[in-house]
Amino acid sequence: MAEWILYAIFGALALGGALGVVFLANPVHSALSLVVTLVSIAVLFLEQSAFFLSTVQIIVYTGAIVVLFLFVIMMLGVDRGDERETRMLSRASFRYGFLAAVAVLLVPILLVTGGWPTGAPGTDTKAAITAAGGNVQAIAQSLFTQYLLPFEVTSILVVAAIVGVIVLAKRPKGLRGAGVGRSDAPGDDDGGDDSDGDRDTDYSASSGADASGAGNASVSRDAAGSSEAEPVASASAPASSSAKPASSASGSAATASTDSEKVV
């Protein structure tokens, strides 16, 4: 009976947190609701005697992933004004989506009576896991013998992701100054003067003073929040260029060289 009580409490918490992720307007509140869901799911792992993964779930998800989310939210300064007006889709499509979700949810409810977890039971019973020394020892035994190759391939994946994130997070101007040929470097393949000038002001502002860069970004975001997709590019360019009129598109070569010197 205690298992049912735990299941009810933490299942309800998981559902509530998931609904909070979807329906809260502030991204910080969404991230904190995500923490509630992840911890509740960790408790449900614990209830099914997956002790190691319950711990890893809390450490990796709430300790790394959600903190990364919050870090990016704080760094980008995404606040409520980002999507206050156009947060949801239209009411009709929302209603149809909700009906489809409920319909898909009904399918396993109708199937419950069939005894549907099928397949031959494995050999990792509770007695076998206890004989192996516990949950952690059993997982380690399986991970480093049977699943050794996927484990090593995972390390390659992580290294590739780290290199990719470093390349993505570097300043593109610095990369171009260092002689790395990148097809998606800004200003290479589009001849738009407005967007080029916009990016130049952004980079010079962010490299010069962070406070003015943040104000610049918020100004252009407020200008873009109330308009549609197409006028956004044209609306954000005058806002930021009026905020910093000193650097124009004609001075892009000078700013590029100074940026490359700063980065390299």
- The minimum distance between CB 229 and other proteins, in angstroms, equals 5
Cβ at position 216, least distance to other proteins in Å: 8
Q: Of the candidates 74, 87, 131, 180, which one interacts with other proteins according to CB under 8 A?
A: 87
User: Which residue type is seen at 65?
Assistant: I
At its nearest, how many Å lie between other proteins and the CB of residue 261?
19
Q: Is 144 in the site for other proteins (CB under 8 A)?
A: no
Mask 40-69, x = binds other proteins (CB under 8 A)?
Answer: -x--xx-xxxx-xx--xx--xx--xx--xx
Backbone dihedral region for residue 13 (phi beyond 0: left; psi -120 to 50: alpha; all else: beta):
alpha
List the x/- string, 226-245, binding to other proteins by CB under 8 A. Answer: --xx--xx--x---x-----
**Cα separation, 233 vs 253, whole angstroms:** 22
Among residues 225, 53, 37, 196, the alpha carbon closest in space to that of 138 is found at 53
Alpha helical stretches, state H, the chain: 2-23, 27-47, 51-56, 66-76, 91-111, 126-132, 135-143, 148-169, 172-177, 193-208, 210-225, 229-243, 252-263
Residue 237, Cβ density class (10 Å: 0-12 exposed, 13-18 middle, ≥19 buried): buried
Pick out residues in 161-180 that bind other proteins (CB under 8 A).
161-162, 164-165, 168-169, 172
Residue with tokens 């002689």: 179
Q: Is 148 in the site for other proteins (CB under 8 A)?
A: no
Write the Ramachandran bin of 96: left for phi over 0, alpha for psi from -120 to 50, otherwise beta: alpha
Of 106 and 264, nearer to other proteins (C-beta) is 106
**Residues 192-231, interacting with other proteins (CB under 8 A):** 199, 202-203, 206, 216-217, 220-221, 224-225, 228-229
Taking the least distance from each CB to other proteins, the nearer of 142 and 250 is 142
For residues 4 and 1, give the distance between their C-alpha atoms in angstroms, rounded to a whole number.
Answer: 5
Stretch that binds other proteins, among 101-109, 174-182, 241-249, 255-263 (CB under 8 A): 101-109
Q: Which is nearer to other proteins, 161 or 254 (CB)?
A: 161
Please identify which residue in 74, 95, 134, 142 interacts with other proteins, judged by CB under 8 A.
142
Cβ–Cβ under 8 Å, residues 76 and 202: no
